[in-house]
Amino acid sequence: MITFKNVSKVYANGTHALTDINMQIEQGEFVFIVGSSGAGKSTFLKLLMCEEQPTEGEIVINDTVITDLPRRKIPFLRRTMGIVFQDFRLIDSMSVYDNVAFAMHVVGATPQEIRRRVPYMLSLVNLQEKAKCRPKELSGGEQQRVGLARALINNPKLIIADEPTGNVDPALSFEIVDLLSEINRRGTTILMVTHEHGLVKHFHRRIVEIQGGRIVADTGKVETSDEAE
Amino acid sequence: MRLSNLRYLLKEGAKNIWTNRTMSIASIAVLVSCLLLTGAAILLSMNIDSAMASVEGSNSIKVYCEQGLPTLKSVQVGEEIMKLDNVKSCELVLKDEAVEEMMDSLGDNGTVLESLLGDENFLPDAYRISMEDLSKYDETAASILAIDGVDQIIDYKDVAEKLTDLDNMVSTAGMWIVLLLSLVSLFIISNTIRVAMFSRRLQISIMKSVGATNWFVRLPFVVEGVLIGLISGLLSSLLLNIVYQNALGALAGINIFDPVDIGPLQGSITLLFVLAGMIFGAVGGMISITRYLHKEGSSFSIF
Ligand SMILES: Nc1ncnc2c1ncn2[C@@H]1O[C@H](COP(=O)(O)OP(=O)(O)O)[C@@H](O)[C@H]1O
Ligand SMILES: [Mg+2]
């Protein structure tokens, strides 16, 4: 599904964030990306989202070479991915429901589609009772579940999450990753950056370690059976 | 574009205006001033034109024949005058009529002039003439003076010249003022919208992260500008009407010329103002959103 070929990224200020990255991720995989701060993990995800362009190499997603995608096509590429932010990025002046519905509006969904799909999504992340609440009235874990519902609402094939549990109580982190696992079971590819060793150890998934802008370890594809958890 | 999308855009635009009330009001005030001044300049210029037309239209130029010229000769002078290109009408005022006019204006005391009628009349025959085009006044006047039997011309040339000067001045000054204010309006509107955008940068970043096209991100802000323009257009055409009616009321006693009636013009003024306002708003919005999307708005993550 995703292929990095000799990808390097040097920022305008001369920082070598990534050097000669080669890797492949298949449809339906769940990948933890680990590494110390400043290792280049976020840069790796930004290249995937077309937020940054690599200085060298090529990235292919589903047969599309995204590294020379015209600017006007980027929005349509982003519609195939759901992005989860560490800081949730919820709009405080909107209810939980509207925060999720907003993402459908943006891509031109009809009101009927929105009315049908948003409640379903909220029930998937177990927040149907909080639909009318404001984000500020929710716990960190709940807020991130809203963020997850929003990322999933347009039915992406790929979820990109940069430290989604970074602002969530450790105890509730498992809940978030459980949800991601559930989504993964339904066929969605998951890329998740995390610092939490506990999580990585608990969920037996593929682990890619980046250090100093290079991939230093990769467990490769991990066959998961539901019983493993 | 679906209807529901349009509704969404209008709602977002209106919300932006409301959230940034102070800036929105400032934009509207500046745009209204600009439109009002434009309107005032247009109306002033139209009134000057109308005053000129009334000077041109009235038989305000008098051509006097030589004193004691036989009436037959005076009639020939009239025929010569009529032959000139620029003369629209030419009306003979016989010396006896002139005396009668004077007697009328003196009322009861007019009878003292009775003795002047007939052979004792020392007034010359005269013509009241009007010209097609006052700007050709000098040539026409010269041609008239060249006619045998013409003594002098009494005219309103000065008035016509002053009106032409005034008209030019109003047009030039008006144009500069309008140009300057247009720039100020654009600046203020685009700043207002930039503030709106800044206060919504989180929303914009989320929109971009879920795959909104740049157009979709832009439109609410363009709509905001257009709404500001629409409000300003309606407001200024209403204000212009009120101010103009009041000005006419104040001038009602002084009957120099027929002022232009704003009534039949109101429709086109409103249309013009609303269109101008909306174009300004849209352009102002586009300027700032394009700048924003090229700078801060190009990325959406703060990982
Ligand atoms: N926009 C940028 N401009 C310049 N340098 C950057 C930029 N973003 C990240 N970097 C640098 O690139 C390196 C990798 O950053 P990042 O990918 O954010 O690491 P991580 O997410 O693993 O902590 C760091 O040294 C960081 O300072
Ligand atoms: Mg990071």
B2–chain A Cβ distance below 8 A for any pair: yes
Same domain, A29 and A96: no
- Are A145 and A194 in the same domain? no
Identify whether residues A50 and A73 lie together within a single domain: yes
Range B67-148 has CATH code 3.30.70.3040: yes
At residue A182 the predicted structure's pLDDT band, cuts being 50, 70 and 90, is very high
* Domain end marker among A115, A138, A155: A155
Q: How many CB pairs under 8 A join A and B?
A: 70
A202 and A100 share one domain: no
Q: What is the pLDDT of residues B144-176, one digit of tens each?
A: 888 888 888 877 666 677 777 877 887 888 888
- Residues A76 and A161 both lie in one domain: yes
Interacting residues of A91 by C-beta distance below 8 A, sequence separation 6+: A98, A99, A102, A135, B202, B203, B206
Same structural domain, A150 and A163: no
Going by pLDDT thresholds of 50, 70 and 90, the confidence category of residue A228 is: very low
pTM of the model: 0.70
Task: Indicate whether A70 pLDDT > 50.
Answer: yes
- Give the span between the Cα atoms of A43 and B143, in whole angstroms: 89
CB-based contact B212 A77, cutoff 8 Å: no
Both A75 and A162 in one domain: the answer is: yes
How many domains does one find in chain A?
2
CATH code: domain of residue A174: 3.40.50.300
User: Chain-wide mean pLDDT for chain B?
Assistant: 79
- Are B206 and A103 inside 8 Å of each other by CB? yes
A113 touches chain B (CB under 8 A): no
- A48 & A98 share domain: no
Nearest to B299 by CA among A87, A52, A56: A52
Residues A32 and A134 both lie in one domain: no
**Ligand 2: centre distance to CA A8 (Å):** 17
Which of A72, A87, A89, A118 to probe by mutation at the B interface, max B CB count within 10 Å? A89
Is residue A86 in a domain? no
- In a domain, residue A60? The reply is yes
pLDDT at B303 over 70: no
Half-sphere exposure of A11 (CA within 13 A, CB side): 12
Whether A57 and A97 map to the same domain: the answer is no
In whole angstroms, give the CA distance from residue B63 to residue B146.
12
**Domain spans of chain B, in order of start:** 3-55+160-296, 67-148
Whether residue A85 lies inside any domain: the answer is no
Of residues B246 and A15, more confidently modeled: A15
DSSP-assigned letter for residue B117: S
Specify the amino acid at residue B102.
Answer: M
pLDDT, position B301: 44
Residue A181: pLDDT band by 50, 70, 90 thresholds? very high
pLDDT at B75: 84
Q: Is A35 in the pocket of ligand 1 (CB under 6 A)?
A: yes
In a domain, A207, yes or no: yes
**Which range marks the domain in which residue A56 is found?**
2-80+157-228
**What is the number of the ligand 1 atom nearest to the C-alpha of A193?**
21
Is A67 found in the same domain as A17? yes
Q: Are residues A8 and A72 in the same domain?
A: yes
